[in-house]
Structure 1
Amino acid sequence: MRHKIGVLTFHRCVNYGSYWQARCLLEWLERRGHAAVLLDHVSEAVRRAELQCALSPALPTATRSEDIPRYVQKIRAFRCAVQRLPRSARFPLDQPQKSETCEIVLVGSDEVFNLDHPWYGGWPLFFGEGVPGLRRAAYAASFGNYQRDYIGAPWRNWLANFEAISVREESGRRLLEDVDSPAPELALDPCLLSPPAPGDSDPAGAERRYLAVYGHGFPEWFTQRVIGLARRQGLRLVSVGYRNDWADEQRIEAGPEAFRALMSSAAAVATNFFHGCVFALLDRKPFACAASRYRANKVRDLAALLGAHRHLVPESAPHALDEAMAAPPDASVYARISLMRARSEAFLDRILA
């Protein structure tokens, strides 16, 4: 049966993971024969916060003046990419009752349950409150860096709006165990559920093999080990989306499609971002991750879910980065992804039945 489905997520973030998880979920739903749209919430305060973050992503470190035009180019590339996605009529973030009515509303993926998110944290619509729709469910929702071991009112009460809930991380599943809501299931990030096609070969990578650097604020010990490995292996360091002065080349201006191409053409990936790990997994690339404080829950739980611990590199193990980069993820990781993909699809199929 064909359903009209509204997807509620952070689709306007200038963030590669936010864009690709929204697009991948839409494409999965469309392949299942449904009419899926992003419920296009807008807020002037959120827009300003997003712009500030996109132009100064490494605060308190100030953005170099010569980098501003490149970050502006990146912002415009994201806006164009989002414009090409199916979206509902716009409605105010604080007036979810004005959103387009859909048969089924899917909340997720991304950090939609993160009450500590700097500008989206705690908004009622991400908990199904006030959103018109016959049925509501959450798919691969994340609590992000939320550190408390409980969910207070009114959010715990709003979770009863959902007829089914799946979360992306084990830490999120534990948070929901004692909440009066549907029993939470674990599900894959949409990028792993419905992998996007590899990007076109990047011209910058055609002449010389490179290691993609994705993230910012890397610890010094990690950067020095990545530089050493790249020099030993004859790899150029290409920083994607953000400035990292220790890289050989800065590709700050990359939009979502260019990001996909750069990641898929890389010989290996060094990251401290969740979706840096996800895209390295998709492309079967050797990768190493130094988990930042903000993303520790997400990357730790992803590694545990898939058995990819080898790729989380601690400072205390001097040879861990070399071991992580020695080969792509083990075959057992992909067996686990296949199992979780089947479970994730079964969850969605039950909701959409």
Structure 2
Amino acid sequence: MRKFFHSFTSLPLSPPFPLENPAGMDDYSLIIVGSDEVWNLRHPWYGGYPVFYGEGLRCRRLVSYAATFGSLTSSERLEGWAEKLRRFSHISVRDLHSERIIRETLGLEPELVLDPCLQFPQMLNASRDGREAASYIAVYGHSFPTWFQDAMRRWARDRGYPLVSIGYRNDWADEQWIDAGPEEFAGFISEAKAVVTNFFHGCVFSLINEKPFACVLSDYRSNKIRDLTQLVRAEHHVLTEDAIPSLDVILGNPLPTGISQRISSLRHRSSAYLSHALQ
């Protein structure tokens, strides 16, 4: 799989085309749609683009990899959209929520696979060269509930760790690093003592780097975070206000080995799906 991925990523990028006009793209024998919220009709920027449902794509075969409906609930109407997915020869999703939607609307059983960041960590994991983790707590996200902010501040203050917010301003943190780039972000999480977040990829990068993390659900991202943590058996890292007493357990200790074992198993399954779908 690693050989395939490195060969795949060494290929030149295809020419860009307007999302509103897929006819402007080149012809391809195979197109992979995904990952992330490509099927979320409520997405503020890309929701409702037919191209993500395969409409108008110039190719002989369509597959999806780690696609998700995001915050779209299964009760919302997909009439006119879901049927477009029948053109896909293979469908995989990255969360249980999207798996249920495909099953309920199309009567199909999609494959459940890992998000590419977890599937290919060698492309993202910043090496620490054997160094100890730095003495700061990474904060990634925004609009955290007040009870969560207060709990994080107390926990970090009692242990002498500064809270450093990256990518977004959080006035309750001790420091802000708003303009960090992708590589800086990867290194920052890699060096952190622990991570607090309400973002999906805050959880993902914690898992990649085997960092203790605490996350809280938000309305927009609840499906993604809940299903990810359930999938890798890290549900206890999702905090509610009643679970604050467990904070020291989840942030003050290494991740359980069962989580990395589960991720390894899911990587094998995701690789098998790709090998089959891309034949």
Asked if TM exceeds 0.5, the reply is yes
In the alignment, which of 194, 203, 212 is matched to residue 286 of structure 1? 212
- Which residue does the alignment assign to 1:270? 196
CA distance in 1, matches of 2:228, 2:9: 30
Q: CA deviation at 1:36?
A: 7.0
Measured after TM superposition, the shift of residue 187 of structure 1 is: 0.5
Which residue of the other structure, out of 189, 198, 212, is the alignment partner of 2:125?
198
2: distance between equivalents of 1:183 and 1:221? 39
The residue type paired with residue 274 of structure 1 is F
Where does 1:1-353 land on structure 2 (aligned, <5 Å)?
30-31=5-6, 33-34=7-8, 86-149=12-75, 151-180=77-106, 182-195=108-121, 196-199=123-126, 209-353=135-279
**Deviation of residue 221 (structure 1)?**
0.6
Summarize deviations over 1:34-55 as a string: whole Å, max 9, x none: 3676xxxxxxxxxxxxxxxxxx
How far did residue 29 of structure 1 move? Answer: 5.1
Letter in 2 for 1:170: L
Q: Distance in 1 between matches of 2:74 and 2:66?
A: 20
List per-residue Cα deviations over 1:57-83 (Å, max 9, x = no partner): xxxxxxxxxxxxxxxxxxxxxxxxxxx
On the 8 A contact 1:164/1:183 being kept in 2, the answer is no
* 1:238/1:200 CA distance change after superposition, 3 Å: farther
Contact 2:134 2:191 in 1 (8 A): no
Instruction: State the distance in 1 between where 2:75 and 2:268 align.
Output: 30
Preserved CA contact (<8 Å) 2:25 2:58: yes
Separation (CA, whole Å) in 1 of partners of 2:3 and 2:116: 8
- Flag the 1:151–1:138 CA change in 2: closer, same or farther, 3 A: farther
Offset of 1:88 from its aligned partner?
1.8
Partners of 1:184 and 1:207 in 2: CA distance: 39
SS of residue paired to 1:135 = strand
Report the Cα distance in structure 2 between the residues aligned to 1:174 and 1:36, rounded to whole angstroms.
35
**Aligned 8 A contact 2:217 2:225 in 1:** yes
**Which whole-Å deviations, capped at 9, do the CAs of 1:253-284 have from their partners, x for residues lacking one?**
00111111111110100000010000001111
Q: Contact between 1:112 and 1:143, CA under 8 Å: does it hold in 2?
A: yes
Separation in 2, partners of 1:314, 1:149:
25
Aligned partner of 2:218: which letter? S
- Aligned with 2:66: secondary structure? strand
2:134 and 2:193 in contact (8 A); partners too = no
TM-score w.r.t. structure 2 length? 0.92
The number of residues matched between the two structures is 276
Q: Report if the CA contact (8 A) 1:269-1:276 is conserved.
A: yes
Return the offset for 1:190: 0.3
Q: Which residue number corresponds to residue 43 of structure 1?
A: none
8 Å CA contact 2:35, 2:65 repeated in 1: yes
Residue 183 (structure 1) shift: 2.7
In the alignment, what sits opposite 1:78?
A: none
How high is the TM-score relative to the length of structure 1?
0.74
Give 5+ residue unaligned stretches, structure 2: none
Quick one: structure 1 residues 206 and 306, their matched pair in 2 at CA, closer, same or farther if it must change by over 3 Å?
closer
